[in-house]
């Protein structure tokens, strides 16, 4: 009878389509990236093997490092500025009784919408002449600001849009963890006379430390992947000041026809992401599971 | 009393989220750019629903909408079918060591930053002569969604008690029958979650659609709208109507299935 679930033909038939797609459209590109990354190739003529020349070029290419720096800004912004706001909002939602479900549902909305559409939407807001933001600031006598075309404001404008899209997503993650804390633990604290502030900082935040670390990890991974929002809002401009690694890769490959170099950058994105998330996980290792 | 302050802060935040949508909704009903520019906060003087008709027909939003819709559905169906079959083989069939290997192998896909595959994948797409066809999107969409889908479906299928299968086997069902008659019907909840998540992801995808297609008529909704925005002499009222065509279906799905969507998105991401 047990033979039914040991039918090798059914097993193979059920696995094969997935494995084929997976190997072809994920496995092959990974292997090809590692091959073409070590070649000088314009995408048309046969690729010429040139060893680590592309990587040497990347390490001396100041435009590439500018794009790396922008990925780091993404990370810093999400951890230093966004995360405290996320925790604060989650705590607020967890403590109110009315509208709790409404708040949760509403804050999540931007994260399920198309980043391209959000880029267009915020383009309206940042529009220098008629945009909502400048019109609003004009009420306070602030002069016209060219948000997306001024070198000094373009990056921060993108970071704010990105934060607007993803804050609610992380709020919902953290909120679920807060609501998962056993009630009697918090009630006990209240009986002992803890204020809301004390309850939050001394009990809730330490208890949800694991999920906060997950949120930080997801933010880092998200920051390293940042691409559509930059492409839609500025295409990396003005003058490459908002380029992130992925947009720089695209420009080198599809606009400069440096496919070999583009693939080398793809490998670097891959390695940098693994190293940063690995380092982060290692540094938070003594992060024991919390049992109630 | 303290709660009131909490509500004020939260309502302010909700306002920050909603204002851009209200602005787009109002703009989509305004007469022209002049009305949008001179009175951006104002309620439309009269409701110009013709913007929607114009956007749908003249600005080709209708074509883009249809393209996005059928590409998203086909890719999600492929992911769902392949993912469910694979999850069944991995969790219910008795090839334990092989299954462990394949499961780890497939979940490794969660670690790969898919954006970095954009350039090498372009080469593969052109080699397979898929460039500028919708298959250039359908295959990568279906594939990239497999790891997380299989993760979610496996988690559910692993928990199905084996007594159910044993009873069905006594009734003479084979491995295939067990899958279609017993396991699939029980697994509908995670399958719905996976389908909706993948549909939304595909519906919203921009980068591949932007670089793997060149004909205007093949564009998907996000690409079409960015193109519309970048076109000379943009009509903002129609562009806003276009945005509504992209956003409203997502909001409708969300309003019906919010619990499933939230649960699925968060479960998938925490693993990844």
Q: Read out DSSP for chain A? A: -GGGGG-HHHHHHHHHHHHHHHIIIIIHHHHHHHHHTTEE--SSSPPEE-TTHHHHHHHH-HHHHHHHHHHHHHHHIIIIIIHHHHHHHHHHHHH--TTHHHHHHHHHGGGGS-HHHHHHHHHHHH-TTT-HHHHHHHTTTPPP--TTTSHHHHHHHHHHHHHHHHHHHHHHHHHHHHHTS-HHHHHHHHHTT--HHHIIIIIIHHHTHHHHHHHHHHHHHHHHH--HHHHHHTTT-STTTT--HHHHHHIIIIIS--HHHHHHHHHHHHHHHHHHHHHHHHHT---PPP--
User: Is the per-residue pLDDT at B136 higher than 50?
Assistant: yes
Q: Chain A within 8 Å of B114 (Cβ-Cβ)?
A: yes
Beta-carbon separation of B6 and A267 below 8 A: no
Q: Name the B residues in 252-271 with CB < 8 Å from any A CB.
A: 254, 258, 261-262, 265-266, 269-270
Best of B116, B126, B141, B222 to mutate (most A CBs within 10 Å, chain A): B116
State how far the Cα of A282 lies from the Cα of A102, in Å rounded to an integer.
38
State how far the Cα of A5 lies from the Cα of A2, in Å rounded to an integer.
6
User: Is the per-residue pLDDT at B165 higher than 50?
Assistant: yes
User: Is the per-residue pLDDT at A269 higher than 80?
Assistant: yes
Q: Is residue A28 part of a domain?
A: no
Confidence class of residue B131 from pLDDT cuts 50, 70 and 90?
Answer: very high
Measured torsion, CA atoms of residues B142, B148, B153, B155, in degrees rounded to the nearest 10: 170
Confidence class of residue B206 from pLDDT cuts 50, 70 and 90?
Answer: very high
Q: Which residues of A touch B41 (CB under 8 A)?
A: 132, 135
By C-alpha distance, which of A218, A223, A107 is closest to A167?
A107
The CATH fold of domain B52-271 = MetI-like fold (1.10.3720)
Q: Chain B within 8 Å of A86 (Cβ-Cβ)?
A: no
Please state, rounded to an integer, the average pLDDT across all residues of chain B: 90
Distance in Å, alpha carbon of B170 to nearest chain A alpha carbon: 8
Q: Chain B within 8 Å of A270 (Cβ-Cβ)?
A: yes
User: Is the per-residue pLDDT at A1 higher than 60?
Assistant: no
- The size of the A-B interface in CB pairs under 8 A is 264
Q: What is the rounded average pLDDT of the residues B113-133?
A: 92
Beta-carbon separation of B115 and A227 below 8 A: yes
Q: Which residues of A touch B140 (CB under 8 A)?
A: 25
Q: Is residue A143 part of a domain?
A: yes
Q: What is the rounded average pLDDT of the residues B240-264?
A: 91
Beta-carbon separation of A231 and B206 below 8 A: yes
Q: Is residue A124 part of a domain?
A: yes
User: Is the per-residue pLDDT at A291 higher than 60?
Assistant: no
Q: Considering its fold, how many domains does chain A have in total?
A: 1
Write out the two tokens for A213: 């670390």
Q: What is the residue range of A61's domain? A: 37-283
* CB distance B134 to B218 below 8 Å: yes
Q: Chain B within 8 Å of A65 (Cβ-Cβ)?
A: no
Looking up residue A117, the CATH number of its domain turns out to be: 1.10.3720.10
Q: Is residue A202 part of a domain?
A: yes
pLDDT digits (tens, 9 = 90+) for A22-60: 999 999 999 999 999 999 998 788 888 998 999 999 999
Distance in Å, alpha carbon of B101 to nearest chain A alpha carbon: 12
Phi and psi angles of residue A39, each rounded to the nearest 5 degrees, phi first: -130, 160
Domain residue ranges of chain B, discontinuous segments joined by +: 1-48, 52-271
Phi and psi angles of residue B29, each rounded to the nearest 5 degrees, phi first: -105, 5
State how far the Cα of A83 lies from the Cα of A80, in Å rounded to an integer.
6
Give the ipTM.
0.89
By C-alpha distance, the chain B residue nearest A161 is B17
User: Is the per-residue pLDDT at B234 higher than 80?
Assistant: no
Beta-carbon separation of A99 and B261 below 8 A: no
Q: Which residues of A touch B262 (CB under 8 A)?
A: 104, 108, 172
Confidence class of residue B192 from pLDDT cuts 50, 70 and 90?
Answer: very high
Beta-carbon separation of B102 and A169 below 8 A: no
CA distances from residue B261 to A239, B192, B196 in whole angstroms, order as listed: 39, 9, 7
Q: What is the rounded average pLDDT of the residues A171-192?
A: 87
CB atoms within 10 A of CB A146: 17
Q: What is the rounded average pLDDT of the residues B242-270?
A: 86
Distance in Å, alpha carbon of B97 to nearest chain A alpha carbon: 13
The most distant pair of C-alpha atoms in chain A lies apart, rounded to whole Å, by 82
Q: What is the rounded average pLDDT of the residues A213-227?
A: 90
Omega prior to B117 cis, within 30 of 0: no
Q: Name the A residues in 271-290 with CB < 8 Å from any B CB.
A: 273-274
Q: What is the rounded average pLDDT of the residues B204-218?
A: 95
Q: Is residue A24 part of a domain?
A: no
User: Is the per-residue pLDDT at B197 higher than 70?
Assistant: yes
Nearest by CB to residue B89, choosing from A15, A30, A33, is A15
pLDDT digits (tens, 9 = 90+) for A134-172: 988 988 988 889 999 999 999 999 999 999 999 999 999
Nearest by CB to residue B225, choosing from A92, A112, A116, is A116
pLDDT digits (tens, 9 = 90+) for A57-113: 999 999 999 999 999 999 999 999 999 999 999 999 998 988 999 999 999 999 999
Mean pLDDT lowest for which of A19-28, A261-270, B203-212, B235-244? B235-244
Q: Name the A residues in 136-195 with CB < 8 Å from any B CB.
A: 164, 168-169, 172-173, 176
Residue linked to tokens 């000088």: A40
Distance in Å, alpha carbon of A78 to nearest chain B alpha carbon: 17
By C-alpha distance, which of A273, A231, A222 is closest to A251?
A231
Return the percent helix, strand and coil in chain B, to nearest 5.
80, 0, 20
Q: What is the pLDDT of residue B48?
A: 83
Q: What is the pLDDT of residue A180?
A: 87
Beta-carbon separation of A18 and B37 below 8 A: no
Distance in Å, alpha carbon of A89 to nearest chain B alpha carbon: 7
Q: Chain B within 8 Å of A229 (Cβ-Cβ)?
A: no
Nearest by CB to residue B143, choosing from A26, A113, A224, is A26
Beta-carbon separation of B206 and A130 below 8 A: no
Q: Name the B residues in 3-22 with CB < 8 Å from any A CB.
A: 3, 6-7, 9-10, 13-14, 16-21
Residue linked to tokens 């469910």: B84
Q: What is the pLDDT of residue B272?
A: 47
User: End-to-end distance of chain A based on CA atoms, in angstroms?
Assistant: 43
Q: What is the rounded average pLDDT of the residues B116-145?
A: 94
């Amino acid at each position: 009878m047990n033979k039914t679930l040991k039918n090798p033909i059914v097993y193979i038939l059920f696995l094969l389509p997935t494995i084929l797609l997976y190997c072809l459209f994920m496995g092959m590109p990974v292997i090809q990236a590692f091959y073409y990354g070590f070649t000088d190739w314009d995408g048309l003529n046969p690729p010429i093997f040139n060893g680590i020349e592309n990587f040497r070029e990347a390490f001396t290419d100041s435009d590439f490092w500018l794009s790396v720096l922008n990925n780091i800004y993404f990370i810093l912004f999400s951890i230093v500025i966004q995360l405290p706001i996320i925790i604060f909002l989650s705590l607020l939602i967890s403590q109110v009784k009315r509208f709790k479900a409404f708040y949760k549902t509403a804050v999540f909305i931007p994260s399920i919408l198309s980043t391209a559409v959000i880029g267009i939407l915020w383009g309206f807001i940042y529009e220098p002449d008629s945009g909502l933001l400048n019109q609003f600031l004009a009420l306070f006598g602030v002069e016209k600001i060219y948000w997306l075309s001024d070198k000094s404001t373009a990056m921060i404008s993108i970071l704010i849009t990105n934060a607007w899209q993803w804050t609610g997503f992380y709020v919902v993650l953290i909120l679920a963890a807060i609501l998962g804390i056993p009630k009697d633990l918090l009630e006990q604290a209240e009986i002992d006379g803890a204020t809301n502030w004390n309850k939050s900082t001394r009990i809730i935040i330490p208890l949800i430390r694991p999920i906060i670390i997950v949120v930080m990890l997801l933010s880092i991974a998200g920051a390293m992947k940042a691409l559509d929002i930059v492409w839609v809002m500025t295409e990396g401009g003005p003058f490459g000041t908002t380029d992130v690694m992925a947009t720089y890769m695209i420009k080198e490959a599809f606009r400069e026809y440096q496919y070999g170099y583009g693939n080398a950058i793809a490998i670097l994105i891959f390695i940098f992401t693994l190293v940063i998330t690995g380092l982060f996980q290692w540094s938070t290792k003594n992060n024991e599971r919390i049992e109630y | 009393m303290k709660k009131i302050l909490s509500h004020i802060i939260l309502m302010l935040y909700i306002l920050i989220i909603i204002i851009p949508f209200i602005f787009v909704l109002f703009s989509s009903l305004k007469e022209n750019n002049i009305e949008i520019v001179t009175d951006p906060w104002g309620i439309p003087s009269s409701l110009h629903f013709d913007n929607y008709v114009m956007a749908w027909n003249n600005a080709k939003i209708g074509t883009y909408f249809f393209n996005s819709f059928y590409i998203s559905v086909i890719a999600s169906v492929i992911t769902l079918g392949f993912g469910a079959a694979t999850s069944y083989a991995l969790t219910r069939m008795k090839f334990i060591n092989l299954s462990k290997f394949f499961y780890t192998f497939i979940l490794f896909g969660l670690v790969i930053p898919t954006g970095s595959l954009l350039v090498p994948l372009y080469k593969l797409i052109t080699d397979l002569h898929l460039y500028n066809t919708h298959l250039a999107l359908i295959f990568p969409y279906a594939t990239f969604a497999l790891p997380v889908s299989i993760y979610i479906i496996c988690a559910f299928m692993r928990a199905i008690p084996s007594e159910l299968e044993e009873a069905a086997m006594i009734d003479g069902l084979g491995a295939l029958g067990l899958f279609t008659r017993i396991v699939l019907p029980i697994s509908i909840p995670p399958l719905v979650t996976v389908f909706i998540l993948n549909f939304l992801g595909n519906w919203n995808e921009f980068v591949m659609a932007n670089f793997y297609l060149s004909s205007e008529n093949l564009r998907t909704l996000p690409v079409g709208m960015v193109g519309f925005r970048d076109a000379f002499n943009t009509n903002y009222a129609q562009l806003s109507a276009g945005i509504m065509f992209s956003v409203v279906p997502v909001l409708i799905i969300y309003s019906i299935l919010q619990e499933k969507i939230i649960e699925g998105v968060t479960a998938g991401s925490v693993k990844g």
